[in-house]
Amino acid sequence: MSWKRKDLLGMQDLDAAEIIGVLDTASSMKEIAAREIKKVPTLRGKTVVNLFYESSTRTRTSFEIAGKWLSADVINFSASGSSADKGESLLDTARNIEAMSPDVVVVRHKAAGAPALLARHLRCGVVNAGDGAHEHPTQALLDLMTIREKKGHLEGLNVTIVGDITHSRVARSDIYGMRKMGITVTVAGPPTLIPAQCQELGVKVSHRLEEAIAHADVIMMLRLQHERMEGGFIPSLREYSRVWGLSLAKLEHCRPDVLIMHPGPVNRGVELAPEVADSPYSVILDQVANGVAVRMAVLYMLAGSKGA
Amino acid sequence: MNRLIKGGRVVDPAGGTDAVQDVWIADGRIHKVGRGLKAPAGAETVDATGKVVCPGFIDMHVHLREPGFEYKETIASGTRAAAAGGFTAVACMANTFPVNDNRAVTDYILARARVEGVVRVYPIGAVTRNLEGTQLAELAEQAEAGCVAFSDDGKCVMNAELYRRAMEYALPFGVPVISHAEDCDLGHGAMHEGFVSTELGLSGQPAAAEEVMVARDIILAELTGAHLHVAHISTAGSVRLVRDAKARGVRVTAEVTPHHLLLTDEVVRSYDSSCKMAPPLRGKRDVEACLEALVDGTIDCVATDHAPHALSEKEGEFAEAANGIVGLETAVPLLLDRLVRPGVLDLPTLVTRFSTGPARLLNLPGGSLAPGAAADITILDLERTWTVDPATFRSRGRSTPFAGFTGIGAPWMTLVGGVTVAS
């Protein structure tokens, strides 16, 4: 396939052919994980900088493993808090990193639009690893890859995303990506956690969990941030868990082949009952495994396909 | 000193004039306006053929940043920007450091303006001490020192009881209380709440954040009989509230900024912080309502909310960037090209909203070319083409969402007290 982008900033930018291209590349990369020697020379001599302004174990590690299996040099640059707290502006940090000639910068930042800002100022490729409540494209790609693996196809499926849609970059990227692949998306949550004019994203909105998941092929449960109570979005975790948490009892009315997904980390007992997280419906660990493959594909397409 | 501005189209809505006439200035005042005036010996003649001669434009909502934030703007740079933009007077907001909440600061601003300023500067005093919203500032002394209005602009006085007292206390001074209507609990989002904020994942503030405060303040103005002026009105709901209140006879006036007349939240898609200000850019229906209200007089005047910042405060992440853009040097050209040229607004109405409107509601001299008035004059060239280039601004602020815009029609000459301050 031909990949012409310098950056991967969001699913909103991609078309269906590009998405399929990434998924196919990722599927072929997946085999590397099964090898005894998990290393191919594809990105030898290339430098990948993980620039994480927000704490993340899973995503950063996933990108790091992806880069290393492709033989790239991976440098982790963690900065806690905002760039302003450190006294160095995001752009200054970017200029400094640029001076070190990386091939790809993977950035996570609490501010929506921060990767776009970096991409405008950096000659190297920029991968958005999550910006505020905006986008998290590699998460959407690994979700699509997992669904395609399990269901064999994407078009015509029903996916229900449950929880805090307002503050979720995963929800946005999933919605954009899934809509482009012909999936019908329903979002469900208390009205306080559904953003303004959400229907215009091309999704159905439901305020009743049972109704929203009844016909779903896939249920994507989002993590509920504990601080949402302080913002007055929900009264208590206890009530949220009772109304919006997924239990085995609620699953009884769902399709027998339903898949349960979660971008992690799971709040066991809040959005997901432990027995659901560990049930055969759950494909949460497949998502994690596919995350490495998707990130290998993305790094390869941004850094490798230009030729060494 | 005598000057004769010859052959221009004189648009003086206060005097009902729109005709080619000459304007004779003597000793800094309008001496006579009429056809074929003969200049006395020694008078300098300004050939204004093909130009439009108007009463001086007044921007009643400007942040000059001095004292305290001279790295953003000074009285010298801000008033030069005003003159270049066609303004003969500005009213400056109180959020300086120290805050203009006492007569010493008011005196300082006026003294600096006399020395450094090139246009008239009218300070606006704070409503509450240090803009903290907890205790009244010394309004009587500030009025005595020359404050032409009271406002905690930039912050909303959330305590309704205190705001009621401020309105009452200000009654004897005959000056308006200017409301920055923005409920700070509802209104903490980085941009307007709507489909664009949902797509961008930026926290949104609903139009209601403004409207609940406009409604509250109108009710308080009704209770107290005070003159309420609503700063930078930006939503269809606020417009409706002001229109209804005016119809009921409440003493309420309102201003709108050029950016709220010309841009919607769609431009925020770039995450460019030069699109970030308070109130935020709104939706299409809000823009249409503001335009309609400017035309029908529900909105009394255009004001820029010129709010300069240093580049470092504006160039970073959208959510963390400072609120505010500059406006003094773009307002008149933008509205001439985008509103007057296509016929959305006729020229005399634009002149009214830029001069007579603010002069009347702040009780300022100006806003007319009647004999005896100070010769504060804005002359427009409706044929002049322009491109907005922030690098050429006189203001120290450079952040504007209009960079690169082009158009036709701009200020040609600005006179304060008969003296040319920009041309």
Q: Which residues of B make CB contacts under 8 Å with A? A: 193-195, 197-204, 206, 271, 312, 315-320
Assign B57 a pLDDT band (cuts: 50, 70, 90).
very high
Q: What's the pLDDT tens digit per position in B260-302?
A: 999 999 999 999 999 999 999 999 999 999 999 999 999 999 9
Q: Chain-wide mean pLDDT for chain B?
A: 97
Considering the domain architecture, whether residues A225 and A159 belong to the same structural domain is answered as yes
- The answer as to whether A181 is a domain residue is yes
CB contact under 8 A, B201 and A135: yes
- Report pLDDT for A305: 61
CB contact under 8 A, B318 and A111: yes
Residue B38: φ, ψ to 5°: -95, 125
Catalytic residues of B: 305
Q: What's the pLDDT tens digit per position in B378-389?
A: 999 999 999 999
Q: What is the CATH number of the domain that holds A294?
A: 3.40.50.1370
Q: What's the pLDDT tens digit per position in A183-197?
A: 999 999 999 999 999
- Total domain count, chain A: 2
Residue A203 pLDDT greater than 60, yes or no: yes
Considering the domain architecture, whether residues A275 and A147 belong to the same structural domain is answered as yes
Q: Which residues of A make CB contacts under 8 Å with B? A: 12, 82-84, 89-91, 109, 111-114, 116-117, 131-135, 169, 172, 195-198, 200-201
Facing B197 at nearest CB: one of A89, A90, A196 = A196
The token duo for B89 is: 């007077």
Mean pLDDT comparison of A94-103, A228-237, B113-122, highest-scoring range: B113-122
Q: Where along chain B do its domains lie?
A: 2-52+373-422, 57-361
Alpha carbon distance A283, B423 (integer Å): 71
Q: What's the pLDDT tens digit per position in B146-190?
A: 999 999 999 999 999 999 999 999 999 999 999 999 999 998 899
| Conformation bin of residue B51: beta by default, left when phi > 0, alpha when psi is -120 to 50 | beta
Residue A84 pLDDT greater than 60, yes or no: no
Residue B309 pLDDT greater than 50, yes or no: yes
Question: Please, what sign has the CA dihedral across residues B90, B95, B96, B101?
Answer: positive
Assign A56 a pLDDT band (cuts: 50, 70, 90).
confident
Cα of B8 to nearest chain A Cα, Å: 48
Considering the domain architecture, whether residues A105 and A90 belong to the same structural domain is answered as yes
Instruction: Residue A124: give the domain boundaries.
Output: 11-134+288-304
B26-30, B32-36, B285-289, B315-319: which has the minimum mean pLDDT?
Answer: B315-319
Considering the domain architecture, whether residues A18 and A124 belong to the same structural domain is answered as yes
Domain B57-361 has CATH 3.20.20.140: yes
Contacts of A89 in chain B (CB under 8 A): 312, 315-316
Considering the domain architecture, whether residues A202 and A273 belong to the same structural domain is answered as yes
Specify the CATH number for B2-52+373-422; select among 3.30.200.20, 2.30.40.10, 3.40.50.2000, 3.40.50.300: 2.30.40.10
Cα of B271 to nearest chain A Cα, Å: 6
Indicate the residue type of B341.
R
Residue A264 pLDDT greater than 60, yes or no: yes
Mean pLDDT within A219-225: 95
Cα of B211 to nearest chain A Cα, Å: 17
Question: A240 with A225: CB under 8 angstroms?
Answer: no
Question: B45 with B39: CB under 8 angstroms?
Answer: yes
Considering the domain architecture, whether residues A121 and A253 belong to the same structural domain is answered as no
Assign A307 a pLDDT band (cuts: 50, 70, 90).
very low
Mean pLDDT within A141-151: 98
Considering the domain architecture, whether residues A149 and A280 belong to the same structural domain is answered as yes
Residue with tokens 């300082």: B108
CB contact under 8 A, A201 and B198: yes
Question: Please, what sign has the CA dihedral across residues B390, B395, B397, B402?
Answer: negative
The token duo for B271 is: 């995450």
Cα of B199 to nearest chain A Cα, Å: 7
Mean pLDDT within B212-236: 98
ipTM: 0.91
CB contact under 8 A, B198 and A111: no
Contacts of A121 in chain B (CB under 8 A): none
Considering the domain architecture, whether residues A47 and A77 belong to the same structural domain is answered as yes
Contacts of B201 in chain A (CB under 8 A): 112, 131-135, 169, 172
